[in-house]
Structure 1
Amino acid sequence: MKRNLYPPIEPFAASHLSVGAGHEIYLEQSGNRYGIPVVFVHGGPGGGTSPLQRRFFDPSKYHIILFDQRGCGKSRPHASLENNTSWDLVADMEAIRLHLNIDQWIVFGGSWGSTLALLYAEKYPEKILNLVLRGIFLLRQKELDWFYGPGSGSIFPEAWDEFLAPLSEEERKMPIQSYYDILTGDDLERQLEAAQAWSVWESSTVTLVQDRFQIEQARDPYFALPFARIEAHYFVHKGWLEEDNQILRDTYKLKNIPTTIVQGRYDAICPPVSAYELKKAMPWAKLKIVDVAGHSAFEPDILHELIKSMDQIAQETDCS
């Protein structure tokens, strides 16, 4: 039987955690406070969390931890790029673990969430019970070139034209840099136009069959501004990695960590080659390529695989 989301639940605790440099991270806990700790690492960067994301996990078995990364969702200050790097977010995750007095936890992340999950795990491998990753993004230049270039643009040509529309012919030669310049500039009207175009582009490509409602939601300025600003900020700076292949280079640190990778075959944002290369670098990992699916965690067959994996981990984990 195909698995689906668990019923809606409310947090038993929600607060803001000060992590320094003026940032306060929104943090919530739901499910079983004495259960298996699992932290949900959202995408983007800049995407924020939603109540739906609590529902990947059996609330009777899991202590479910969601947080909004710096600058997005309910975290403060909104849309801030100051002191907002990959390594700040890695430090924030560790601060959350310490704050909640958790010894080890499962790290569950997709898309940019898989990037951040891997960076965190490579820095703190001893704190990881399991890694569950979806829609693998390794923050390499070739992946950025694919999505902000002729790769995804050749699959969604009409959406690609809309993405390029706010840019001049000269600006289109380096779209990520050009968008970053606009999104951090002083022209607030053009900034909003760019943020909406950037966010709509991603929403137009995230599912196997385009979801018009999701595309329209992406125009909401409260979502679009932090999402576009933070993504462009991270991608212009290549995530502040030491080298393009850093994540694959350091997978040897994860050798004793059980890892599950779920990947859509027709993922136009994060093509399956990255998941395949990650599996080759981590031969102990389980890779499931879902044949009829795009990028979204809510594609029916991807959802099934993720929830099935979490249920199996719960059965195998001694949380006494």
Structure 2
Amino acid sequence: MPLHPPIEPYDAGTLTTDDGQTLHWETCGNPDGRPALDLHGGPGSGASAGARRYYDPERYRIVLLDQRGCGRSRPLASDPDPAVREDAARDWCRWEDTHVSLAPGHRPSRRYEDPAFRLVFARLVTHYWRHAAFLPHDALLRGVTRLAGIPGTLVHGRYDVSGPPDIAWDLHRRWPGSELRIIDDAGHGGAGAFTDAVVDALDRAADRPR
């Protein structure tokens, strides 16, 4: 199932957080459609033109965010030594690109060629990882029973070593009514059958009664 046609936002802006940072948002698709909030799970990423294409623009009102401190959101403060920052960011992004490269047909991500992106991405990822996303151990799994009765589809790539399949399996077992689809030829970044599964799940969700 192919991606939906490319679309552009019809509105965009920023939200100010309590600590004075700004978050970029954009909305596209059908203003009267079913609301869909697109969130990227890992720190350092956010809205992209490709993410818009998972959703049927005739049936969804799509809201996307750049995460705190990245993309068009205002970055966090920097460390003192620029040379140290640059070397560390380059090494981290090289490692990121390597550990998502297990899936067949992987191509290095061109976003890591941008020094500004490398710096913000590496800083945010390591900050959140160091603090375990600022959540108590197992907090998300313990709270997932609150989703009971809310349908959901989990799409996971078999080659994903960033988030191994046992994480998706544990979530699926604790979420009554969820569906788990393991894609054999996909890794962390998706593509191919992974993209088809996501588009299919969102198209089916758009058909459900509100």
Which letter does structure 2 place at the counterpart of 1:250?
A: G
What corresponds to 1:268 in structure 2?
161
Whether the 8 Å contact between 1:204 and 1:211 is mirrored in structure 2 is no
Identity rate, percent: 38
What corresponds to 2:134 in structure 1?
240
1:288 to 181, 204, 208: 181
Whether the 8 Å contact between 1:204 and 1:210 is mirrored in structure 2 is no
- Cα deviation per residue 1:184-215 (whole Å; 9 max; x = unaligned)? 6422101111112112221223241364441x
Which letter does structure 2 place at the counterpart of 1:209?
A: P
> What is the distance in 1 between the residues matched to 2:138 and 2:113?
33
Q: Residues 1-320 of structure 1: matches in 2 within 5 Å?
A: 3-76=1-74, 78=75, 80=76, 185-207=79-101, 208-209=103-104, 211-214=106-109, 216-242=110-136, 244-297=137-190, 299-318=191-210
**TM (normalized to structure 1)?**
0.62
Q: Compare the two structures and name the one with the higher helix fraction.
A: 1
* Per-residue deviation, 1:230: 0.6
Which letter does structure 1 place at the counterpart of 2:100?
A: V
CA 1:293–1:213 in structure 2 vs 1: closer, same or farther (change >3 Å)?
closer
Further displaced range: 250-259 or 24-33: 250-259
* Per-residue deviation, 1:279: 1.2
> What is the distance in 2 between the residues matched to 1:228 and 1:44?
11
SS of structure 1 residue aligned to 2:180: strand
> What is the distance in 1 between the residues matched to 2:15 and 2:111?
28
Q: What are structure 2's unaligned runs of at least 5 residues?
A: none
Whether the 8 Å contact between 1:196 and 1:220 is mirrored in structure 2 is no
Pairwise CA RMSD: 1.6
> What is the distance in 1 between the residues matched to 2:116 and 2:53?
24
Whether the 8 Å contact between 1:13 and 1:30 is mirrored in structure 2 is yes
> What is the distance in 2 between the residues matched to 1:36 and 1:312?
12
Q: What are structure 1's unaligned runs of at least 5 residues?
A: 82-183
